[in-house]
Amino acid sequence: MNDCLFCQIVQKRIPAKIVHEDEHTLAFDDVNPQAPVHVLIIPKQHVQAVGDVRETESGLLAQLLLTCTKVAKHKGLALSGYRIVTNTGPDAGQTVFHLHLHVLGGRHMTWPPG
Ligand code: AMP
Ligand code: ZN
């Protein structure tokens, strides 16, 4: 989708600080970090939110999670820990409608989230 911000990052038409890239996923630093480490992991193909992944494409979810763990290790979070979040729809506060997983770490986080 041409007017999608994250599709434009995939196409390198909008700059981002890319942390990891492979055939199906891309990871880049969040522009407004909420923790010392805050990386977004996205599928290269446009999917609006986690609930829109079809059963036939379920392997994509595994690939996204594996990229999250690679990024977390690369950023030195394997021992200290990290949080993986995906906001879906209005109650969760989703603002970009291209599926993305947040990897947050480098500080202690409270539960429940706000
Ligand atoms: P969400 O609120 O879960 O939809 O998350 C969207 C995230 O995208 C927010 O954390 C924003 O800071 C982040 N964001 C928005 N625009 C950009 C951009 N151009 N590059 C990197 N991160 C962005
Ligand atoms: Zn998109």
Domains, the chain, with CATH or none: 5-105 (3.30.428.10)
For 21-35, the pLDDT digits (tens) are: 999 999 999 999 999
Of the ligands numbered here, which is closest to the C-alpha atom of 30? Answer: 1
Residue 2 has pLDDT above 90, yes or no: no
Of the ligands numbered here, which is closest to the C-alpha atom of 47? Answer: 2
pTM greater than 0.95 = yes
pLDDT, position 1: 58
Residue whose CB lies within 8 A of the most ligand 1 atoms, among 4, 11, 37, 40, for a mutation test: 40
Cα of 79 from ligand 1 centre, angstroms: 26
Identify the three-state secondary structure at position 27.
strand
